[in-house]
Homo-oligomer: A and B are copies of this chain.
Amino acid sequence: MDREKVFKNIKDHFEEHVERLRELVRQPSISAENYGIRECANLIRDYLRRLGCKDARLVESSGNPVVYGYYDAGADKTVIIYMMYDTQPADEPGWIVPPLGGHVIDMPPFGKCLVARGAINTKGELGAFLNACESITAVGEEIPLNLIFVAEGEEELGSRHLPEFINEYVSVLKKADAVFFPTADQDEKGKVQMSLGVKGIVYFELELDGESWGYGPTEFDIHGSNKAWVDSPTLRMIQALSTLTSKDGNEVLVDGFYDNVAPPSPEDMELIEKLEKTFDEETVKKEMKVKRFIDDVHGKEALLKYLYSPTLNIDGIWSGYIGPGTKTVLPHKITVKMDVRLVPNMTVEEVIPKIRRHLDKNGFKEIKITRLEEGYEWAKTSVREPAVQAVIKTYREFGYEPEIWPHMAGSAPFCMFNREPLNLPFVEGGIGHGGRAHAPNEYIVVEEGGPTGGLITLEKSYVAILDNLSKML
């Protein structure tokens, strides 16, 4: 492939390429609210057809459709391009632009950024990858791999129906040699970070109301003065929650919670030793606006805590009157959204039963647990896999020595590809930067010249990754 010809096309069509990203974020696709999902799926299917996928379609499931596309390059090797087209809700306070508006604004020191829900998680990368592919074919080159596009619309809901698609298309998918997920892996200063896996996750709600408990108000919040003779589901839930962790909130006190936690493997420890040298903890903290880590740990200790601790987190909690000023009510119900992140060798299936047993043992049988997602298992690909090596080679070609993380603390449905029935190496990558996923003012950098790559660099890196994958797989 004549990379330079492709790169020139990318540069020449910068404005149109930004426009595609804006179009994507303007098309809502908030899976938690079932908002704009099908319209967004149709948009992506049309993109795939435009690219030249002879077969591009919405594959229905019990949930949101998967956008499937097959690009036949007549190549020896085939790669699954995993993408997600759904996003988180956009209801957080603090947005400086409308989160679905597609606004490109200056954000020092990065230069012009697209600030929008989904900008970095992950419509920005999805659009950039398609732009890159179009630039290859636009200059008369051929994409060097057959591509199987799998864009799912329920990643933010735990990819609950993706296994249905995988089972239905297993014979097609099994023909692939690897799975590639286009991401943008530079940090704020431009350092390239590469992650070889993910933690698993289980997401659930705890709920207590007077009706199911038998104590407290059963149907509505009542006047607060009745606390004198009526039980409070809210105060009761507080007691139950308090038994789950240590006083600082950081050690999980559920029996057997840590039983299956494995120490880092030798390969992981090797990676951690290297990682420690370049790990820029001040930048990490600055991005999150966090002053210090738990117990004020630093360096390797912080890395080990981050990567090898399973967690119990309250994502949200609410009960009673949550408006301005005062309203005296005794609430009839309290709801708590929680997630548990799994490290090797924990499993999704072990979590809820352990929490159920813990609550029962502590006398809180009345508290209801509802699993909200199917959950993901943890997933890891070895650094020695050719697919991983192809991405590392790309980074070096662009002048970056990547900082390699044995996995990240976040979760994604990679287990669905690198475990049974597909057992494929899974790799992600891309040279670009964005931030504030799941937070206000989520952004992706589009302009070149700042500390990180912009959209042009990101698209070039995808072209090079495809090229290297075709040679190394």
Contact = CB atoms under 8 A, between A and B. Distances in A.
A222 interface: yes
Nearest to A324: B32
13 contacts: A89-B327, A156-B325, A157-B325, A210-B291, A220-B439, A220-B440, A223-B437, A228-B409, A314-B320, A314-B331, A317-B320, A320-B337, A326-B337
List 4 tightest A-B contacts by C-beta distance, closest first. A235-B249, A32-B325, A242-B242, A316-B320
Contact of A314 (B199, B229, B232, B289): B232
A196 B297 CA distance: 60
A327 B410 CA distance: 12
Contacts of A217: 288-290
Interface in A48-106: 88-89, 91-92, 94
Contacts of A91: 323
B326 A315 contact: yes
Interface string A296-329: 0100001001110101111111111111111111
Interface in A318-347: 318-331, 334-335, 337, 339, 341
Nearest to A335: B322
B88 A327 contact: yes
Number of copies: 2
A339 B91 CA distance: 29
A312 B241 CA distance: 18
A408 B136 CA distance: 79
Interface of A: 31-33, 88-89, 91-92, 94, 156-158, 199, 201, 203, 210, 214-232, 234-236, 238-239, 241-242, 245, 247-250, 288-294, 297, 302, 305-307, 309, 311-331, 334-335, 337, 339, 341, 363, 372-373, 408-411, 436-440
A228 to B, nearest CB: 5
Contacts of A247: 239, 363
Nearest to A297: B229
Which has the most chain B C-beta neighbours within 10 Å: A215, A230, A314, A438?
A: A314
Nearest to A221: B439
A221 B372 contact: no
Contacts of A302: 229
A224 B313 CA distance: 7
B327 A221 contact: no
B324 A225 contact: no
A226 B315 contact: no
Which has the most chain B C-beta neighbours within 10 Å: A31, A92, A291, A411?
A: A291
Contacts of A224: 313, 315, 339, 341, 438
Given A227-B311, A236-B248, A322-B322, 7 more contacts: A157-B325, A210-B289, A215-B292, A215-B294, A223-B410, A224-B339, A235-B241
Given A322-B318, A337-B320, A229 B33 contact: no
B328 A201 contact: yes
A212 to B, nearest CB: 11
Contacts of A216: 290
A309 B408 CA distance: 52
A409 B229 CA distance: 10
Contacts of A248: 231, 236, 239
Contacts of A305: 228-229
B313 A232 contact: yes
B210 A290 contact: yes
Contact of A372 (B232, B326, B372): B326
Contact of A32 (B230, B297, B326): B326
A328 B313 contact: yes
B235 A314 contact: yes
A323 B32 contact: yes
A315 B306 contact: no
Which has the most chain B C-beta neighbours within 10 Å: A241, A291, A316, A322?
A: A316
A131 to B, nearest CB: 26
A227 to B, nearest CB: 4
A329 B316 contact: yes
Contact of A241 (B33, B242, B328): B242
A317 B234 contact: yes
A319 B314 contact: yes
A392 B220 CA distance: 33
